[in-house]
Structure 1
Amino acid sequence: MSDLEGDVLSVGSTRDSGHEYIRIRGARKNNLRSINVDIPKRQLTVFTGVSGSGKSSLVFGTIAAESRRLINETYDAFIQGFMPSMPRPEVESLEGLTAAIIIDQERMSPNPRSTVGTVTDVNSMLRTLFSRFAEPQIGSPQAYSFNVASASGSGTLTKGDGTQKAAGFSITGGMCLRCQGRGQINAIDITQLVDETKSLSQGAITIPGYKAGGWSVRFYTDSGFFDPDKPVMEYTAQERHDLYYREPGKVKIGGANMTFQGLVPSVKRSFLTKDREGMQPHIRAFVDRAVTFTRCPECTGTRLAQKTLASRIAGNNIAELCAMQISDLASWINELDAGAGHLRGAEPLLTALGDVLRHFTALGLGYLTLERSAGTLSGGEAQRIKMIRHLGSSLTDVTYVFDEPTIGLHPHDVERMNDLLLKLRDKGNTVLVVEHDPDVMAVADRIVDMGPAAGKWGGEIVYNGDFAGLRTSGTATGDHLEARQPIKQRPRPATGMIRIRGATRNNLRNVDIDIPQGVFVAVSGVAGSGKSSLIHGSLAEREGVVVVDQAPIRGSRRSNPATYTGLLDPIRKAFAKANGVRPALFSANSEGACPNCSGAGVVYQDLGIIAGISTVCEECQGKRFQPSVLEYTLGGLNIADVLATPVQQALEFFSGEGTGGAEAALPAAVSVLNRLRDVGLGYLTLGQPLSTLSGGERQRIKLAIEIGSEAEVLILDEPTSGLHLADTERMISMLETIVDLGRSVIVIEHHPDVISRADWVIDIGPGAGHDGGQVIFSGPPEDLLSASRSLTAAHLIRRR
């Protein structure tokens, strides 16, 4: 390292201190209480605190948001006109900001053409390698791309002297034309598209979105090809062909030239260009019953043309490399001799490829394949994939912002994650991490602990210093750092067994396992070992089993905890009874809605090709209701006040112990609010849009609903995600209570405290991908400690 570099990285630099800190004064975003704080640049700072304490409001809602806004303002007015408007965060002053790069847990695009290889540019590097060094050579890098079709044509070439001549062009892509580069072909069951006993006017078309009288159906009724009042079963052969299979073409509809096409090509264009997992539930149900997918017989699922598959390096074509486990691909690249034969000169490319693939392994993602669809990655996997993009970046002196990067990681992999965070810091960057894991806190240069509690009881900095000082700080975080859940000594006896035989999903190796019922079961193992494949693949569809995962909650942007849990129904009825009016008045989706924003609280502007923008409604100021509705009260609060109330405060209000007194007592609301509080969501306001919830919060709100169900078996996928150490303890106690009531709880989990408190542990491994897929331990947690092949056991022993 040069002397200059050392000066840049040193904590005690003598440089003007005004440029060495991000200075925040008077931050009031959400629950922040006019916070003042100086955050050192070019260091690793971890922000912790109980869920809802204000960490994200400070890091994402203030620092990152203002950095993004200021960068957008550097573009000229024309470009800014096409960009979403970003309001200035609620803060008095912010100094010392650098460009912020946010690496969050948002899932990746469900586009089926996006794969792990395409989103990380590894595919691009492989295509370049093959275009230069494969045998036989077949053309440029696009000849190895399944997203580029071969095409040819003619046009006009303008020469330098201004003269023109006819010229041909040819694009040689690698796409398999049979499946259009998707690897699958589909067959559509036309009986699921039309009820042939009806006419078009009577609603014969049963495809979602095709309503009689609507524009989608008018394309058919007004096309002139059919009698709209004749039952489809009476159509001629030509009419049937036109209805189902006619290729796109221009016709006069309503006096205008419009493109008409049959229902089958329409369904393919409208529904089958999207990933199934990204569809709304009713669309997914339609596709599942109407479409059959099979592997393309032409390319055998590789997506590539035969000429592309015939081009090889060291015996492998590009599809075979993309199908390899990434850890194996890294070894294959490393073993190539770049100085021999036709590979002479490939060394720079091979080195760059090897570096990127090693990042995958270092982040615990070596079990993935490059052909894996990006839309199937979990939030944690997606975040680590995004991190890979930046590890090789030449950018320095930027601010990297991470949202709980250890989610989905086994403790064995957290150390490697820490090394990469430190590597980003040591390149001269500022690294800000919102995190609950003590192992990440331990390597931080600075800890900023938020609290003292959540929601309106938080929003303050309760500690700002190093990790050693945090231990004795007296904060909720500091007090729980030394806490260790003891290994359960007297586990509950099983009341029965759930038998799984011959499980082979993904990497599972013909697994046979008996899962005890009536107890608390933890399923552990490193990321990619096969935990989810075993539990979701073998149990999720069984009768009496409910899965509570972190998938996005299906619903509109109007949905909130009150509507999703059913809590709003008794509240609306209570308001109606107290005021002698209709319950519909207290619904922002019905009679009581503000007419200007239709009850959304914001006005959306669709900008077409780019992201739309939203502004707070000027009429209702975001309260969503008509002014006349807000004159009605219950216990002194109007309906907008109630929806702005946190769960914990609402619990006091509706129990009759708060400011509303006995008038506000509502037992039906209290039972739901109790469950929301018990799953650690006491800080959420009743009207917070569900679209703003994290994956962990989404899972816990689902759990709050399912606690009240009659399901015999609850399956939870990493329920401690996003939970503070104190909230994790409460979560474990709640799960124990569920088991005590006679139900079975199966938890896929990495957290050592959860594993220690389980009655039975099933450890999958020993490694990830093809190095896993086996049950290496099944028994009480105390016996796990002697399982020599278990990385989970090794970590539990270190914590004792």
Structure 2
Amino acid sequence: MDPRTIQVIGAREHNLKDVSLSLPRDKLICFTGVSGSGKSTFAFDTIFAEGQRRYIESLSAYARQFLGQLPKPNVDKITGLSPAIAIQQKTSGWNPRSTVGTITQIHDFLRVLFARIGTQHCPDCTRPIQAQTRDQIVARIVQLPPDTGVLILAPMVRGQKGEFRDFFEDMLRQGYARARVDGVVVKLGEAPALARNVRHDIEIVVDRLTLTERVRPRLAEAVETALRLADGSVIVQTDHDGPPSGGRGAGWLAAPQRDSAAARRPRSRKAPTDAAPVSGDLLLSSRYACPSCGLSFDPPSPQLLSFNSPVGMCRACDGLGERFDFDDELLVPAPSKSFLDLAIEPMRTRIGKWRRHIYQAVADHVGFDLKTPWNGLSPAARSALLHGLGSTHLTFTWRWSGGVWRHGGTFDGVIAELRANYRKAKAPMVRAYYEKYMRRTACGECHGARLNRQAAAIRLNGDSIVDVGAMTIAEADAWVQRLELDATQHLIADQILREIRERLRFLLDVGLDYLSLDRAAPTLSGGESQRIRLASQIGCGLVGVLYVLDEPSIGLHARDNRRLLDSLLRLRDMGNTVIVVEHDEETMRSADVVVDFGPGPGVRGGEVVAVGPPQKVARSRRSVTGQYLRGASEIEVPERRRPVNRPRRA
């Protein structure tokens, strides 16, 4: 057995007729022939399938169960095979989260670059973020309205999978009584059993108090403890009610989270004061905080800049950049109807008295009549009914024969109700009914950027990672070249920039300079997908691998074909065997070995009619391809073209 060759003996897969062939290693080999002659069968279903099968069988039985394996080809013997990689023209199978940047790992290196030498800016006022001291954090908390009840929380687990039993026991031994697990406060001694494969957020309850001047020393101590526990971060929760407690978290236990139906019902509230209670979480950090707005952020990290991570993704669209949501226009097919006459079609049932008194409060607040036709309502009135009024406090008036009852609350909009109904729907017919009124649109929160506001506000030389992602390959290459870094930044980013430049150069070499880095993978053509895979393989720098490619020149302009061939030759010169199934003449003439299959398609093919350097194949009288290579045959160009049928004018 010659270690410098790949020996195939007795290949009979599909229409191959007991083909035996010896191919040199570390060469560029072109398989050609008429369509259906067996060249793809020999390349992919025989050589690649056997190379992949042998590599997978070298792994343990446990590892093999996670890997797909091609069936054993119908062949007597193959020797001299290396681990094989097929680069085919696939347009399906891409994850919707994949982009050109993630496939080529350019986005991964950009995340590290921006996290290490980028500057965090405030999303609101765009000022650079500075570190906060403990006293500044305390001063920010006491700016909340007086008598606001707060929980001081130390964020310990952020978006991690696990059961965390040992963590709960350890915190309990340290003297902490409660924790907030996925938004619900529980006793550590009665911590819930958590699903191992679900991501969880866990914060330790350090203290609970009501903001007055007397509690400032206690607040400062609680903040310092939380900062020490959570490595510089503290969360202030302000959405609980009830009398203050004297001990650390004693007597406080959050009620279970309300279901979506309960969340939509109006909530009674205390009479409004001059300083209304503030609801929600306030994240403060001793590391990064805006001196103007008082907003605090986690330190920049590669995870923060990933739209595939819970830390960095836009929570409104889960990092997809688009949402499948109810569309304002589709919801109202008959705008001549009024709201009470079910202008919003998927509401379906007649509006009862309870729901009507809620909608009437919205109409009274905005100033319109529910009986007015939809096309006669102002944009503000339509928006209020569809999308709600946010955190605006409304007074709802319920009248019955015995008197009047007033209660307060907020209104989230009809679309919020429809979303809840759609999520709860189990029957495919019901979901299909709602989907008639839904449309896929860009996320209104991140505007297609996929990242949250903090991640999108990290800048380098005035540009965010979102700005760089929107650039084409050629523009991104120019951006990297003109980066101005100081000595410290250059020392940190030198290796990262080298990796980014190399990958951009590979994409330029295969003629993909026009693609943007944020281009979604499912929108790529088969040829573009194949050339991206090719560029990724060149960037990996593997040696001793057998690559099998399927017509990589398809869809390429002649100007870019030479650059593609140079990339294939570079892959060969790195010490790899490259087999290309191709019809392109320039590719055949650039190959070290040409194998012509034929002589015809189907049952009339399955044989090797010529093999050798391009010059030898061109001299073969039996080879159809050889006739075209030596000029004996050519594609005739008709002297007269058929006239173009112009459309008649109406």
| Coarse TM-score class (shorter-chain normalised) | 0.5 to 0.7
CA 1:238–1:134 in 2, change beyond 3 Å: closer, same or farther? Answer: farther
Q: Classify the secondary structure of the residue corresponding to 2:540.
A: coil
Name the residue aligned to 1:264.
422
| Aligned 8 A contact 2:588 2:594 in 1 | yes
Residue 407 (str. 1) matches residue 554 (str. 2): yes
Cα gap change, 1:234/1:306 in structure 2, threshold over 3 Å: closer, same or farther?
closer
Match of 2:23 among 22, 26, 39: 39
Return the alpha-carbon distance in structure 1 between the equivalents of residues 323 and 66 of structure 2.
38
Taking structure 2 as the reference length, what is the TM-score of the superposition? Answer: 0.56
Alignment match, 1:174 = 312
**1:233 matched to 2:349:** yes
Is the Cα–Cα contact under 8 Å of residues 122 and 353 in structure 1 kept in the other structure? yes
Aligned counterpart for 1:307 among listed residues 454, 467, 482: 454
Asked if 1:477 corresponds to 2:625, the answer is: yes
Q: For residue 637 of structure 1, what is the aligned residue in structure 2?
A: none
Cross-structure match for 2:84: 100
Q: Does the 8 A contact of 1:109 with 1:374 survive in 2?
A: no
Partners of 2:315 and 2:617 lie apart in 1 by 61
Contact kept? 2:527, 2:554, Cα under 8 Å: yes
How has the CA–CA distance of structure 1 residues 52 and 493 changed in structure 2, closer, same or farther, with 3 Å as cutoff?
A: closer
Q: Which moved more, 1:89-98 or 1:74-83?
A: 74-83
The 5 A counterparts of 1:167-316 are 168=203, 173-188=311-326, 233=349, 262-265=420-423, 289-316=436-463
Query: What letter corresponds to residue 175 of structure 1 in structure 2?
Result: M
Residue 91 of structure 1 pairs with residue 75 of structure 2:
yes
One-letter amino acid matched to 1:419 = D
Report the counterpart of residue 52 of structure 1 in structure 2. Answer: 36
Q: Is the 8 A contact 1:110 1:376 kept in 2?
A: no
Equivalent residue, structure 2, for 1:19: 3
**One-letter amino acid matched to 1:491:** R
Residues 486, 37 of structure 1: alpha-carbon distance in 2 compared, 3 angstrom cutoff: closer
In the alignment, is residue 136 of structure 1 matched against residue 120 of structure 2?
yes
Identity %: 37
- The answer as to 2:591 corresponding to 1:444 is yes
Deviation of residue 150 (structure 1)? 7.0
5+ long unaligned stretches in structure 1: 1-16, 139-148, 194-205, 208-230, 246-260, 272-281, 500-542, 544-800
Q: Distance between the aligned counterparts of 1:303 and 1:493, measured in 2?
A: 49
The alignment status of 1:376 with 2:523, answered yes or no, reads yes
1:300-339 alignment runs, 5 A limit: 300-338=447-485
**What do residues 324-383 of structure 1 show as CA deviations (whole Å, max 9, x unaligned)?**
111111011012245546444312111110110111111111100111110000111111
The whole-number CA distance in structure 1 between the counterparts of 2:160 and 2:77 is 58
Q: Quick one: structure 1 residues 102 and 66, their matched pair in 2 at CA, closer, same or farther if it must change by over 3 Å?
A: same
Give the one of 52, 58, 61 matched to 2:45.
61
Tell me the C-alpha RMSD between the 2 structures.
Answer: 4.3
- Kindly report which structure 2 residues correspond to 1:640-651, keeping only aligned pairs within 5 A, or say none: none
Q: How does 1:261-660 map to 2 (within 5 A)?
A: 262-265=420-423, 289-338=436-485, 340=487, 342-474=489-621, 475-481=623-629, 482=631, 483-485=633-635, 489-496=639-646
Contact in 2 for aligned 1:129/1:346 (Cα 8 Å): yes
- Indicate how the Cα distance of structure 1 residues 77 and 286 shifts in structure 2: closer, same or farther if over 3 A, else same: same
Q: Quick check: 2:549–2:580 contact (8 Å CA) kept in 1?
A: yes
The answer (yes or no) to whether the contact 1:133–1:313 under 8 Å persists in 2 is: yes
Q: Using the alignment, how far apart are the partners of 1:498 and 1:42 within structure 2?
A: 59
Larger Rg belongs to: 2
Using the alignment, how far apart are the partners of 1:58 and 1:323 within structure 2? Answer: 41
Cα 1:77–1:416 shift into 2, 3 Å: same
Secondary structure of the residue that 1:419 maps to in structure 2? Answer: helix
Q: Which residue does the alignment assign to 1:549? A: none
- Give per-residue Cα distances to partners, 1:103-144, cap 9 Å, x unaligned: 111114353322111122111110010010101289xxxxxx
The equivalent residue for 1:109 is 93
* Maintained 8 Å contact 2:506/2:539: no
Distance in 2, Cα, partners of 1:312 & 1:43: 46
Residues of 2 paired with 1:477 and 1:455: CA distance?
Answer: 17
- Letter of the aligned partner of 2:463 in structure 1? N
Cα separation, 2, equivalents of 1:78 and 1:419: 40
Give CA deviations for 1:55-87 in whole Å, capped at 9, x if unaligned. 111111111101111112112223334545643
* C-alpha contact (below 8 Å) 2:541/2:574 kept by paired residues: no
Q: Please give the residue correspondences for 1:721-760 in structure 2 after superposition, counting only pairs within 5 Å.
A: none
SS at match of 2:22: strand
Distance 1:428 1:157, change over 3 A: same
Q: Give the letter aligned to residue 625 of structure 2.
A: T
Cα 1:455–1:322 change in 2 (3 A) is same
**Structure 2 residue identity aligned to 1:415:** R
**1:178 Cα offset (Å):** 2.7
* Aligned mates of 1:402, 1:42 — CA distance in 2: 15
| In structure 2, C-alpha distance between the alignment counterparts of 1:295 and 1:342, rounded to whole Å | 35
Secondary structure, aligned partner of 2:54: helix
Q: Which residue of 2 aligns with 1:75?
A: 59
Contact 1:188/1:264 (<8 A) preserved = no
Distance in structure 1 (CA, Å) of the matches to 2:492 and 2:56: 42
Equivalent-residue separation in structure 2 for 1:486 and 1:379 (angstroms)? 29
SS, match of residue 496 in structure 1: coil
Alpha-carbon spacing, 1:190–1:264, altered in 2? closer, same or farther (3 Å): farther
Q: Secondary structure at the match of 1:233?
A: coil
CA distance in 1 between partners of 2:46 and 2:505 (Å)? 34
Return the TM-score normalized by structure 1. Answer: 0.46
**What amino acid is the match of 1:57?**
T
Deviation at 1:489, TM superposition (A): 4.4
SS in 2 for 1:423: helix
The offset of 1:35, in angstroms, is 0.7
In the other structure, the counterpart of 1:120 is 104
Partners of 2:433 and 2:98 in 1: how far apart?
A: 23
Q: Which amino acid aligns with 2:110?
A: L
1:484 Cα deviation from its structure 2 partner: 4.4
Distance 1:37 1:234, change over 3 A: same
Q: Does the Cα contact within 8 Å between 1:157 and 1:164 map onto a contact in 2?
A: no
How far apart are 1:236 and its partner, in Å?
Answer: 6.4
For residue 718 of structure 1, what is the aligned residue in structure 2? none
| Cα shift at 1:238 | 9.1
1:639-694 CA distance string (max 9 Å, x none): xxxxxxxxxxxxxxxxxxxxxxxxxxxxxxxxxxxxxxxxxxxxxxxxxxxxxxxx
**Aligned residues between the structures:** 414
Counterpart Cα distance in 1 of 2:427 and 2:94? 14
Q: Is the 8 A contact 1:338 1:345 kept in 2?
A: no
Classify 1:360/1:394 alpha carbon distance in 2 versus 1 (closer, same or farther; 3 Å): closer
Amino acid at match of 2:598: G
Give per-residue Cα distances to partners, 1:405-433, cap 9 Å, x unaligned: 11111111111111011111111111111
**How far, CA to CA, are the matches of 1:498 and 1:334 in structure 2?**
54
Alignment partners' CA distance in 2, 1:446 and 1:453: 21
**Could you say what secondary structure the match of 2:460 adopts?**
coil
Alignment-mate amino acid for residue 355 of structure 1: E
